[in-house]
Structure 1
């Protein structure tokens, strides 16, 4: 029945996208499309989705339009030790038991006790499992701490975070190796004219990158919380890919790394924790010494040595320290960066996935270590 609902909804969305009266459409317009019964709650939400995507994203055709529900047409309940979500279907409103991970259950409990408000939800299938992704809205109390942490992104080290005398490093070596392996595999498949396989590899690599960025961003925000940080500062990424030009360095395979995605994840996770995010002008953050002397020759790869006072430090760490101090001044938030947490998905089958604790990817150092 879910598959049938998706097929009908997709066909309706494509029909609606070319309708001349789209902007005036209401749930009654579905009768012009089909005489079969279909939940008006889904029809109304599909109209909203189509209006938005055709206007802002210029979408002309939908490959698959999953069934969405507004905040008034789905409900979560707890029965004993498990949860159910209910929503309208082709026949009647039903409640389906859902599998949740620990952090998802915590949010569902907050929905039930009213400390967060529910928004729209989407039912979709991915890799033979059905998921119900929900959006929530809640107030975050800003942290009172004023301590600032700087995060420097780059190619040799994907991210370096610095607060006080402590720092957190994320090396690029392993990521660069995986990127080179994917690139070599795409070349082989391309020479063999297996274009479909090339696209699948690209999708797989993108999912892997997204997973790594999620783990890095989570560890950075946890590091900030553990060290009493109230403000995370990051630089705008203009020119980040020009920082490494040698074909020999490990970072060369990271030129297409999703740095913008990583910043977005750090930003929304920080805001959810009550940590303010500020954006810093990146000018001279990698060339300036703590004594104030600024010179391009101060930096040589990952080594920083001031030509005036002789101060030495890891170059990316120096950049993170300068970003925390905002030595080049604060800038406006990048217009392309959209913050806001993604939906919380719970899947509709009895197979759990165990512990959701991310593996440790970073190395914590004190200033002298």
Structure 2
């Protein structure tokens, strides 16, 4: 089942509540770090919190933290937690609609309280699905970002798989951010405009760096990151819409694992291959495809840019954006050829 995460801003929490959320976060982090080194972690239940502290703390949060610490320690992902936000499972967090407002109730240091959230129209649709039972909520996280408090609620839902068997390949690159191919139709997203805008961001930061304006540099990086995310949202939406229009049942993309080590592209205007948020773009394409019943598959990246439709493979076949087979003379846009080969999964699917 597809999963998305709703990020809901708490609507103007009082200073008292914000201080309480902060205390909860600090106490939960300290408890998690204490648990990491506890000899009986695997047998731990909510009662173990009494050995850590005499303070009152919701057992619902304690149980979720125990699960998280067990998981992190098992996978050796954490030696210490810098910050571990409080989490609530679907039995301890309730979404309701009261009048025109949506509220979310969860345990705190004092009691279970219902707090209003800022819900945008598309978020309201998902909240309604939680309320009417057509979507299931996962473990929610209470966190703070830029002086605002949020609840992140994962949601899973049933989607009927599309019966179409058409496969669309999507190739990612620098000169063209993305190229999609299905049958004889294709969709291109040029990278020159985004490269220009990123050069402007980089040039501005160089000037700010000479002036030692570190705060302004950070703001510029955050602004560029938001702009990149917005571009990826737009590109992924157009790609999935293109797939729907052309009766696609499967979208295939290259596995981006280890792209930094295997990327050999020349720098273009100081921006290398992995400087664009390709993982983010791929993730957006995946979840938007799955939301409409289109399967998403990863293929091995080997030789997708070097192989001709006749089967001949040679690195010399590709020259920049131009592809010309040294054996049969076939010519095509190199990125489009890559997208076609990705659709065919010429090197096989990732297991």
TM-score, normalization by structure 2: 0.81
Q: 1:57 to 1:171 in 2, by over 3 A?
A: farther
**Equivalent in 8, 26, 32 of residue 51 of structure 2:** 32
Match of 2:192 in 1: 173
Following the alignment from structure 1 to structure 2, what is the Cα–Cα distance between the partners of residues 55 and 222?
Answer: 41
| Structure 1 residue 152 displacement after superposition | 0.7
1:253 aligns with 2:272: yes
**Equivalent in 39, 42, 63 of residue 23 of structure 1:** 42
Corresponding residue pairs, total: 331
SS in 1 for 2:248: coil
Contact 2:167–2:248 (8 Å) recurs in 1: yes
Q: 1:157 to 1:53 in 2, by over 3 A?
A: same
Match of 2:171 in 1: 152
Match of 1:318 in 2: 337
1:130 aligns with 2:140: no
Following the alignment from structure 2 to structure 1, what is the Cα–Cα distance between the partners of residues 220 and 37?
Answer: 33
Following the alignment from structure 2 to structure 1, what is the Cα–Cα distance between the partners of residues 100 and 316?
Answer: 62
Higher relative contact order (CA 8 A, sep 6+): 1
1:228 aligns with 2:247: yes
Q: 1:258 to 1:63 in 2, by over 3 A?
A: same
Residues 1-369 of structure 1 mapped to structure 2, 5 A cutoff: 1-180=20-199, 209-237=228-256, 245-247=265-267, 249-250=268-269, 252-307=271-326, 310-326=329-345, 328-333=346-351
Following the alignment from structure 2 to structure 1, what is the Cα–Cα distance between the partners of residues 55 and 66?
Answer: 17
Following the alignment from structure 1 to structure 2, what is the Cα–Cα distance between the partners of residues 296 and 164?
Answer: 25
Q: 1:174 to 1:63 in 2, by over 3 A?
A: farther
| Structure 1 residue 52 displacement after superposition | 1.6
Following the alignment from structure 2 to structure 1, what is the Cα–Cα distance between the partners of residues 205 and 283?
Answer: 28
Contact 1:149–1:233 (8 Å) recurs in 2: yes
Following the alignment from structure 2 to structure 1, what is the Cα–Cα distance between the partners of residues 41 and 230?
Answer: 38
| Structure 1 residue 16 displacement after superposition | 2.1
| Structure 1 residue 128 displacement after superposition | 2.2
1:328-352 per-position Cα deviation (integer Å, ceiling 9, x unaligned): 242224xxxxxxxxxxxxxxxxxxx
Contact 1:9–1:67 (8 Å) recurs in 2: yes
Following the alignment from structure 1 to structure 2, what is the Cα–Cα distance between the partners of residues 239 and 65?
Answer: 28
1:238-284 per-position Cα deviation (integer Å, ceiling 9, x unaligned): 7866665445x348433433434433332233223211123334343
Q: 1:307 to 1:254 in 2, by over 3 A?
A: closer
Q: 1:64 to 1:204 in 2, by over 3 A?
A: farther
Alpha-carbon RMSD: 3.0
Q: 1:225 to 1:68 in 2, by over 3 A?
A: same
Gaps spanning 5+ residues in structure 1: where? 334-369
1:93-128 per-position Cα deviation (integer Å, ceiling 9, x unaligned): 111111112221111111112112221111111122
SS in 1 for 2:275: coil
SS in 1 for 2:276: coil
